[in-house]
Each structure stands twice: as C-alpha cells, then as structure tokens.
Amino acid sequence: MYQLEEKIWFWAFIIIPVMLLLFLWTFLWKKRTQKSFGSAIVLKRLSPDLSFFKSALKFVILCLAVSFLVIGLINPKIGTKLETIKREGVDIVFAIDVSKSMLAEDVAPNRLEKSKQLVTQIINNLTSDRVGIIAYAGKAFPQLPITTDYASAKMFLQSMNTDMLSSQGTAINDAIQLSRNYFDDEEQTNRVLIIISDGEDHNNLSVEVAGAASKEGIKIYTIGVGSEKGAPIPLKRNGVIISYKKDQNNETVITKLNEKTLRLIANEAKGTYIVGNQTAAVVEQIRTVLSAMDKKEFEAKEFAEYKDQFQWFLGIGLFLLVLDILLLERKTAWLKRLNLFNENL
C-alpha cells in the first residue's frame, strides 16, 4: 500500500511539455539560422563532431531528471507495517442503476454521473463504516465486496458505465437479492442498502424482495435521480448526440423518474426515500441516518506505518542532472568510429 503526501506537486509535470516545446523550437530555429550561413554539407564539415543524437539524449536525460525530482517532491510513501485495528461502523452497500435510462440528461450531467457524484460524496463523509458496491441493469453484478478501503470504492465507482452489463432493463429486485449475500456477518445489527436509481422497474418484484430483506435486518434507503417530467435517452458518438433511443413504433422513448416504486421499496424495508437532485441535501440526510444507528465493533487490517521514499527519487534525479551536465554534445570517439546512427552520411 502506498500514499502520495504532496499531490499538489503533480502540477509541476507541466514543465515537461514546456521543455519539449522549447527544445523543438530551438532545434527548428537553429536549422533556419544555419541555412542562412551556408549549406548543410558545408556546416557538417565545419563542425564534424557535433552530434544531434547526443543533444537529444541530453534532453531526454534532463526530462527524466525533472520527472524524478517532481516525484521526490510528491513524496511517495510505502506502507511497512500492517496492523489489525478495532473500528466501529455500519455495513453499507450501494446498488447503482447502470441501465440505459440513466443516460437521460434531465439532471446534470446525466442520471448516472449524478448517481456517482452522490455516492462519492457520501463515502467522503464516512469515517469507519464498511462499504460495498453493486451495479445492476437487467441483472445485478457485484462490483466491490464489503471493504473499508474507500479509495478503492471510489475507483471502482468511477469506472461504472451503462455498457458494463450486457443485459439491459432495470431489475431492482436482483440488486436487493444480491445485497442479502453481501452482508456476511450474522451479528451485524445495522445493515444498510442504498439504491440509487430512476425507479424504472421491469418485473415488479422489488417490493416483495425488499420485505424479505427487511426481515434479515437490512434497511433500504432509495435515492431517486431524474425528473417526473422525464427526458429522452441520448445516443452519442464521440461525445456528440447523434440520435435518441426509439421504441418499436419509431417514437422517441421518454424515461421518467418513478418515485412511487422507490418509496414502496424504502417503506417496505423500514427505510426512507430521498430525492437525489441536491447532492448536499442527500449527503446530509444519509449522514443523519447513519449517525443515529448503533455501531458495531469489527476488526480491520490497515497499514499503520508509512516510510518516505522521496530520497530515492531525488537521488536519481540529481544523478541524472549531473550526468546531463557532464554529457557533451560532441560525438564520442569510439561511437563515431562505429557510426551507429549514420551521422557521417
């Protein structure tokens, strides 16, 4: 496990493309200037030991030196001591709708991206709870098992899209059923399933399955994303809308937020329905709900000690800088005799 202590220094990498532009500009300027003094053959004879390869090599070494120095400033740290610690929290599983209807843009930027923003902000406000992620459309798919690794959770979350599941539709009941297998601790008294969806349900079994989950101690909170007015489902190519999804009668499909289904599911599982259009309001409601729940103590393995690694990168960077200074732009004698780069032609 590793940490990056000073991420702000990533901005320093912009120096590399700036250096590249300056190198290319200088090279072209030299070429134009040399042409004004004489032909390339004459200039070659006047400076036979000048090597373009060595100049390019010096530039590459300089860029590598700058890169290593920047990484040293970022200061990567590697975990060296793994400890088992006691934590208190609630098990939370997020079930995220990734059906095509979530591409509708009645909330910005679209329903799916809004859902991912909501889950990300909820996770950012957690402290010691465990989280898991389920993706569902026509079927449910386990995306991330229960974990305390919030960074991994957010990474998996950002990779979710409407193409990740081949079977389309919206089977909320499958997501609820899968979540019942996620909670592997029989003693966990507070189990929370948060469903983020536009509420379209293609099989009408969700309320029944929610009741069964409730009997196992799972509380379900539903977050509705979208508008009751609805919106068409855009079909894009290279980020540009080329058409909208149509039905069998060649009419544009309008997908609408179905709050009724989401309310019924939440009520059946002793939870609450939350309107998902305002991120701050949703996060605050979830935070209030979780803070009122009893926390269960559990064990989690975490890296307790991290060692700085900046010295290795700074050392390599300084070595490369010295090498760049000592490396001349003139041809090396024995390489010149070998003529590996055809520079005498």
Domain locations in the chain as residue ranges: 2-75+309-338, 83-300
Instruction: Please give the Cα distance from 217 to 192 (Å, whole number).
Output: 9
Instruction: Please give the Cα distance from 174 to 197 (Å, whole number).
Output: 13
Look at domain 83-300 and name its CATH class. alpha beta
Instruction: Please give the Cα distance from 324 to 327 (Å, whole number).
Output: 5
Nearest partner of 233 among 95, 96, 112, judged by Cα:
112
For the stretch 194-230, pLDDT in tens is 999 998 876 778 899 999 999 988 999 999 999 989 9
- In this predicted structure, what is the pLDDT of residue 147? 86
With tokens 């009724």, the residue in question is: 260
Which residue stretches of the chain have pLDDT < 50?
Answer: 334-335, 341, 345
pTM above 0.85, yes or no: no
Which residues touch 293 (CB under 8 Å, ≥6 apart)? 90, 190, 192
- In this predicted structure, what is the pLDDT of residue 1? 61
For the stretch 152-169, pLDDT in tens is 899 999 999 988 887 777
Pairing of strands 191-197, 91-97: parallel
Element spanning 224, H or E: strand 218-224
- In this predicted structure, what is the pLDDT of residue 334? 46
Element spanning 268, H or E: helix 259-268
Amino acid (1-letter code) at residue 147: T
- In this predicted structure, what is the pLDDT of residue 326? 83
